[in-house]
Structure 1
């Protein structure tokens, strides 16, 4: 026998996957992923079959149970899956449905017995989920009989069992456990079920979804029901923030994607309103949430921009030479939910997150344009509000973009920053891993630090007085402040603007940071503490990542200087002073309050504040980011009453630090 080399590639090298292995060894092909997302999609495949039944008028409730052992159960009250012998196929239907890919009851869309609008199309979902399960238990009630099936690792166990049904209602109950040998993670969180069931309730008017979640205390039950579907959902999103009334429009169209393709039916429903507080656009097709949009999303963009632009032009709302609105301007004040159904659907892939039907795009674009035109004519006051808000959004966006470009021009570039930033003193080294930037208080401290530093790796920039409170000021005012813009230039990493309204200003790049340490160095008095807090506030608002990644430090200045003949001691707190004095009993010493940074001799500045071996640096860490945020907002924000209440309650704790006489 000739032993083949592992590099041999011949006629015997080709093989094919058969049976359950087609899914078990390549789950990502069917479910889009072999991870948790794919496992979640396998659940949706079973749920979608029950939804299709209910939409056809068979069953008003679907019950989904999440068990602690990661198994799942879906129960509906439809007609029950046909599982007995199929004369046309000469096989049992349960074999076709549970064990045969591309087998199902949704291919013949012209049949009176078929589903008119179906979420499941390809005959893959039920079989693929069964193949990818550790076990699956099926109980079907129809025609007065109870049918039971059991599968393990994709293989049937015991065939089809039939008995008299004790239930009056027909329906299907399927319990299965996703196989950890197939998926890398099967611990589907409860929030996934809540999200998907809410979405299905939104687009399936009057269909009740019951979610049972097993915990250590038993089963927790939640219900999801929208009697008026997407119209109720839009009202829920907008709440009392709506600028206009909620509109609901629906229609049915017949068409084709290409002249040589067959005609199919499309049912379109859209609910919308406008708001200056919230925005939301969601698109559903055959009750599947189109997370990546596709045809309906493109139609909504085209129709809304076209009609609102036409209204603005017809009513002279644009300024002279003003540019046209974009969809982002509309979207910022739009709450729009669309739900479409079609007898033929072209999904981008099996996960059904986007559709590509050309006719659906054309039909929805035409439908929305027509409805918006009528709506604007019949509701001139609301049309005026919409036009005004869209123009506000547009002009704000353009202003933010102009500010961003100016800011980028101001803060970036390869010019020597020492020549661009007044009084900035750079260091010699270009090695970012050792470079340190000291942000110091005032020009006098600049002089002492400049003479006392190690010029090889320590640079200095002075802050002249108290800088702008970045929690109260808007971005335009912040970036016009010379001190702040100088600091941002020197740091080199740009700014990150965590605001929906000003997201275009964000230009942060941590790789652009020119320093290994950013050290805030101020006097140990009330003014120094306030300046330090304002600098921290600036960094916290404009570049919080520097704090999160541990680049920001505070240089702790000594409060007291204690001199003996042999040695000089520095105390950084009252308790340290007391401890040092107790150790010096019997020795002559002098005690004095430590001088401000600007009054220190260069060698003293090096020893106490800048020498890596003797200085004390406090790393600013986001150990409790939420608490930090709340305290910054309270102390430096607009909540005057909250600040007063805090001072009244805790002010006595800080009275010793107050600079009063």
Structure 2
């Protein structure tokens, strides 16, 4: 089984999250069959525990189910035809990739447990023991730190995972580290959480049928935003079902209004979610993030996914619009607004693209790498990085020390424009923004994104923080999907270098600096790095290599993008003034901190 990349947990698709999901999927399948309404999860930095209240693994099969291929409870079982996986490989993979793994099944007043190390049995209960615990399964594991080096779980990624489980299984309660995840209205709740009712053009449309559920609305943000699922699996890269959904929306809207709208105008600013269930789904990748199935079941006479979704949307959405004329009017206004905006920038867009093509031939801002994300034949494509730097000195250090195979550098000439509140026209009018857009190849969608990670690398001073904020504003304003899909990061570089004649320690915080001074006492040399250009290329190579420290940019669930940008980049609101006053550190206080 392929679990994706190893990683340290800083990316949402790192393997440690796949391990958690594989254990959770078994508990979810039990719930889907009507066994157990509660799943309890505890996760610390390095340990995961999952307890469900399903039927429990048959006691005589406990060891086989977690360590031998083709011995899962779902194998050859018609009861689980619409599960994500059918042979239980995921649990075996989790076991094999854990330095400690324990499974305990409770069933019919008895229990059986077994412990493993890297897939090898180390201990087990002596037969079946009596137990008063409720039936179900308890799994505890610690990922192997020799494989997942320096790993840690990021709470926001886990939060998103468990909420998706809750949305797709209405009535299920997931208790994660003391917090309850519960949804009564499925995808309606998902979209309600992902959007702000005040910013939506009309109330969320929520439609349900046999093996299909969807929700849609329009707001004022740029781009299209979708959440798609197959048999409970979050297909982050979409697939045949999402393509059919997008196509069906355009076709239904055109027929309802009897106008041949441009598809981009219909889908501009849309936020949608779709979940379907199919028999024996086929995915294009081993991590099951993109559906490849073209039919609802493997039968030769099965309905195509395109027809299944298209017919449902045509019937149900068309009926809804006829019954809700106010929503129909709001959708029409949004489409016409998008049409005007598209035509307004058509002329300047053509000129800007021509300039960008000429500039790309000798683009001094971009030092490109050799491998890119769309290069499907390359194993290194997921390692591709574009560093966005400020000034020639910083870009020079990174350029000299980077891996030319997978690491590219885009150099800003200074502070970019604050684009908050501006229309997308500015992306084409501003040469720097336009060149960055073309370097990433994201003008129309993320389908051709050239680098898996876009890393903002700015100085650790006030100007550097300001530039970082302006770049974040650019991406959040015009390319929010880049952030939502986990492609944007902040490069962490050391603030201090503490060394003596025998040892050098790089410190990323004041606490690390104090510990280093104490370790290398009596009188170590201390260097404060204020700019990336102050770090030599030889040193820089150690910070952007195998042990690179990246902080992912994650959108907190409490805020929508317009709320976030208004707070940080809008006019000086009382809330922001209050925050600054309460958290301001004056120069004298800062000197005292640095001297302690």
- Partner Cα distance (1:277, 1:32) in 2: 31
The normalised TM-score by structure 2 is 0.59
Q: How far does residue 194 in structure 1 lie from its aligned partner after superposition?
A: 1.1
Q: How far does residue 188 in structure 1 lie from its aligned partner after superposition?
A: 2.2
| Aligned residue in 1 for 2:539 | none
- Partner Cα distance (2:212, 2:474) in 1: 45
Q: Which runs of 5+ in 2 are unaligned?
A: 9-13, 296-304, 360-390, 394-416, 451-462, 476-489, 492-529, 534-564, 582-596
- Partner Cα distance (2:272, 2:424) in 1: 30
Query: In 2, are the aligned partners of 1:74 and 1:175 still within 8 Å (CA)?
Result: yes
| Aligned residue in 2 for 1:136 | 101
SS of residue in 1 equivalent to 2:123: coil
| Aligned residue in 2 for 1:380 | 325
| Aligned residue in 2 for 1:573 | none
- Partner Cα distance (2:3, 2:82) in 1: 22
1:187-266 matches, cutoff 5 A: 187-212=152-177, 221-238=178-195, 239-252=197-210
The verdict on how the C-alpha distance between 1:117 and 1:640 changes in structure 2, with shifts beyond 3 A counting, is: closer
| Aligned residue in 2 for 1:321 | none
Q: CA RMSD in A?
A: 4.4
Q: 2:294 aligns with which of 358, 371, 375?
A: 358
Query: In 2, are the aligned partners of 1:290 and 1:354 still within 8 Å (CA)?
Result: yes
1:396-419 CA-to-partner distances (Å, cap 9, x unmatched) read: 1343343222234468758xxxxx
The verdict on how the C-alpha distance between 1:335 and 1:156 changes in structure 2, with shifts beyond 3 A counting, is: same
The verdict on how the C-alpha distance between 1:542 and 1:97 changes in structure 2, with shifts beyond 3 A counting, is: closer
- Partner Cα distance (2:56, 2:145) in 1: 29
| Aligned residue in 2 for 1:105 | 73
| Aligned residue in 1 for 2:217 | 273
- Partner Cα distance (1:392, 1:40) in 2: 41
Q: Does 1:33 align with 2:5?
A: yes
Q: Does 1:302 align with 2:247?
A: yes
Q: Does 1:63 align with 2:34?
A: no
Query: In 2, are the aligned partners of 1:49 and 1:119 still within 8 Å (CA)?
Result: no
Q: Does 1:396 align with 2:333?
A: no
| Aligned residue in 1 for 2:268 | 332
Query: In 1, are the aligned partners of 2:418 and 2:473 still within 8 Å (CA)?
Result: no
The normalised TM-score by structure 1 is 0.53
| Aligned residue in 2 for 1:76 | 52
1:517-536 matches, cutoff 5 A: none
| Aligned residue in 2 for 1:52 | 29
SS of residue in 2 equivalent to 1:39: helix
1:376-424 CA-to-partner distances (Å, cap 9, x unmatched) read: 322233222212212322331343343222234468758xxxxxxxxxx
SS of residue in 2 equivalent to 1:209: strand
Query: In 2, are the aligned partners of 1:179 and 1:186 still within 8 Å (CA)?
Result: no
| Aligned residue in 2 for 1:119 | 84
Query: In 1, are the aligned partners of 2:232 and 2:275 still within 8 Å (CA)?
Result: yes
SS of residue in 2 equivalent to 1:161: coil
Q: Which runs of 5+ in 1 are unaligned?
A: 1-28, 85-92, 213-220, 253-266, 319-323, 415-431, 435-467, 510-532, 550-617, 622-632, 650-661
Q: 2:121 aligns with which of 156, 159, 162?
A: 156
Q: 1:287 aligns with which of 219, 225, 232?
A: 232
Query: In 2, are the aligned partners of 1:109 and 1:343 still within 8 Å (CA)?
Result: no
The verdict on how the C-alpha distance between 1:166 and 1:342 changes in structure 2, with shifts beyond 3 A counting, is: same
| Aligned residue in 2 for 1:20 | none
Query: In 1, are the aligned partners of 2:213 and 2:276 still within 8 Å (CA)?
Result: yes
Query: In 2, are the aligned partners of 1:45 and 1:120 still within 8 Å (CA)?
Result: no
- Partner Cα distance (1:496, 1:345) in 2: 38
SS of residue in 1 equivalent to 2:252: helix
Q: How far does residue 34 in structure 1 lie from its aligned partner after superposition?
A: 3.1
- Partner Cα distance (1:402, 1:241) in 2: 29
Q: How far does residue 210 in structure 1 lie from its aligned partner after superposition?
A: 1.0
The verdict on how the C-alpha distance between 1:394 and 1:188 changes in structure 2, with shifts beyond 3 A counting, is: same
SS of residue in 1 equivalent to 2:337: helix
Count of residues in Structure 1 that have an aligned counterpart in Structure 2: 404
Q: How far does residue 52 in structure 1 lie from its aligned partner after superposition?
A: 0.7
SS of residue in 2 equivalent to 1:400: helix
Query: In 1, are the aligned partners of 2:55 and 2:136 still within 8 Å (CA)?
Result: yes
Q: How far does residue 131 in structure 1 lie from its aligned partner after superposition?
A: 1.4
Query: In 1, are the aligned partners of 2:427 and 2:434 still within 8 Å (CA)?
Result: no
Query: In 2, are the aligned partners of 1:131 and 1:154 still within 8 Å (CA)?
Result: yes
Query: In 1, are the aligned partners of 2:250 and 2:267 still within 8 Å (CA)?
Result: no
Worse-matched range after superposition: 191-200 or 375-384: 375-384
SS of residue in 2 equivalent to 1:272: strand
Q: How far does residue 347 in structure 1 lie from its aligned partner after superposition?
A: 2.0
1:546-575 CA-to-partner distances (Å, cap 9, x unmatched) read: xx99xxxxxxxxxxxxxxxxxxxxxxxxxx
Query: In 2, are the aligned partners of 1:471 and 1:541 still within 8 Å (CA)?
Result: no
> Which protein shows a greater Rg?
1
Q: 1:343 aligns with which of 279, 292, 304?
A: 279
Query: In 2, are the aligned partners of 1:304 and 1:368 still within 8 Å (CA)?
Result: yes
